[in-house]
């Protein structure tokens, strides 16, 4: 069985405050994009995991894909499998690739072993692996609240627009991102998203940007460049360091030293 876990972008991301459980309360629209990893899951006589493509640091046992399999084995006593993850989505870039891989592992195991789990159960399982994992159970735009795991559908139509994604390879730790985050700003997110992207500039905000742009000038410069190239809206996704621009006409690829892709939505 082969599946293609997608990346996501955040259309607005506002951190409303810190919760009693140590997490932060957020509001954001998560939107799946055509950038995808490749995940193969097959029955096997013993469990094994292989990873190719972009290099993932750390031990295999810490990989979210392996943790997802262990979760399903513990809860449903499933048999061993062989998993091959070919990584194309940059890591730690605000694109949610690791979360997508974990959730799609759950989806693959659900199908492979005919567990027939509901969307709600799959989202609950995904939330045990990470705050934004539950988003990837459904391949559609969703409004995320809570710590990112409380989801509901939202109408956002980007059909016909072009998306340019740039990642300069700058690593931003979660600690750094949250140390300078600006709280608030999510009151009008849904109202702004109800309009076309031409109306989003300076209204649809990411609360992580200000401090990260201060610490890493190249990231802020790339956002400015996307506007210079004609983007109707540009933003950082997640807590960085990936930038994206939404264009009415297909933009050129200009940053050969960085990870850069263009997609028609």
Residue 24 reports pLDDT greater than 90: no
pLDDT for res 182? 80
State the Cα–Cα distance between residues 164 and 246, nearest whole angstrom: 7
Closest of 265, 235, 230 to residue 251, by C-alpha: 230
pLDDT for res 177? 84
pLDDT for res 18? 82
Architecture of domain 2-153: 2-Layer Sandwich (3.30)
Annotated catalytic residue: which of 37, 101, 110, 132? Answer: 132
pLDDT for res 257? 85
Report helix angle 119-127 to 97-112, nearest 10. Answer: 130
pLDDT for res 199? 95
Residue 40 reports pLDDT greater than 90: yes
Average pLDDT, the chain: 94
Query: Nearest-5° angle of CA 39, CA 109, CA 66?
Result: 60
pLDDT for res 174? 80
SS3 content of the chain, % helix, strand, coil (to 5): 30, 30, 40
Residue 235 token pair = 């933003």
Stretch 18-46: mean pLDDT: 93
State the Cα–Cα distance between residues 109 and 21, nearest whole angstrom: 31
pLDDT for res 133? 95
Q: Which pTM value belongs to this model? A: 0.94
- Annotated catalytic residue 8: yes
Annotated catalytic residue: which of 8, 87, 164, 223? Answer: 8
CATH 3.30.230.10 region(s) of the chain? 2-153
Least confident of 50-59, 140-149, 173-182, 212-221: 173-182
pLDDT for res 183? 85
CATH 3.30.70.890 region(s) of the chain? 162-264
**Above pLDDT 90, what percent of the chain?**
79
Helices (H) and strands (E) in the chain, counts: 7, 12
pLDDT in tens, 81-137: 999 999 999 988 999 999 999 999 999 999 999 999 999 999 999 999 998 999 999
Residue 154 reports pLDDT greater than 90: yes
Using pLDDT thresholds of 50, 70 and 90, give the confidence band for residue 36.
very high
To the question of domain 162-264 being in CATH 3.40.50.300, the answer is: no
Residue 180 reports pLDDT greater than 80: no
Residue 188 reports pLDDT greater than 90: no
pLDDT for res 255? 76
48-53 and 81-87 as β-strands: parallel, antiparallel, unpaired? parallel
């Amino acid at each position: 069985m082969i599946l293609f876990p997608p990346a996501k972008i955040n259309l607005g991301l506002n951190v409303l405050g810190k919760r009693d459980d140590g997490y932060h309360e957020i509001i954001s629209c998560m939107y799946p994009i055509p950038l995808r990893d490749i995940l193969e899951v097959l029955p096997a006589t013993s469990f094994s995991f292989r990873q190719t493509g972009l290099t993932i640091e750390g031990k295999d046992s810490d990989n979210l894909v392996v943790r997802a399999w262990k979760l399903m084995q513990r809860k449903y006593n499933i048999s061993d499998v062989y998993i091959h993850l070919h990584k194309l989505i940059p890591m730690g870039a605000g694109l949610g690739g690791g979360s997508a891989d974990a959730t799609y592992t759950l989806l693959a195991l659900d199908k492979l072993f005919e567990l027939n789990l509901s969307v709600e159960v799959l989202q609950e399982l995904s939330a045990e692996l990470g705050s934004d994992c539950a988003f990837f159970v459904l391949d559609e735009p969703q409004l995320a609240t809570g710590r990112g795991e409380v989801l509901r559908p939202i109408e956002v139509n980007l059909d016909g627009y072009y998306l340019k994604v740039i990642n300069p390879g700058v690593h931003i730790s979660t600690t750094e991102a949250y140390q300078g985050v600006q709280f608030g700003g999510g009151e009008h997110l849904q109202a702004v998203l109800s309009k076309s992207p031409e109306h989003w500039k300076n209204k649809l905000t990411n609360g992580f940007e200000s401090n990260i742009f201060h610490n890493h000038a190249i990231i802020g410069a790339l956002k400015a460049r996307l506007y210079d190239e004609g983007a109707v809206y540009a933003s950082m996704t997640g807590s960085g360091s990936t930038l994206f621009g939404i264009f009415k006409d297909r933009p050129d690829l200009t940053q050969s030293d960085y990870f850069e892709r263009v997609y028609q939505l």
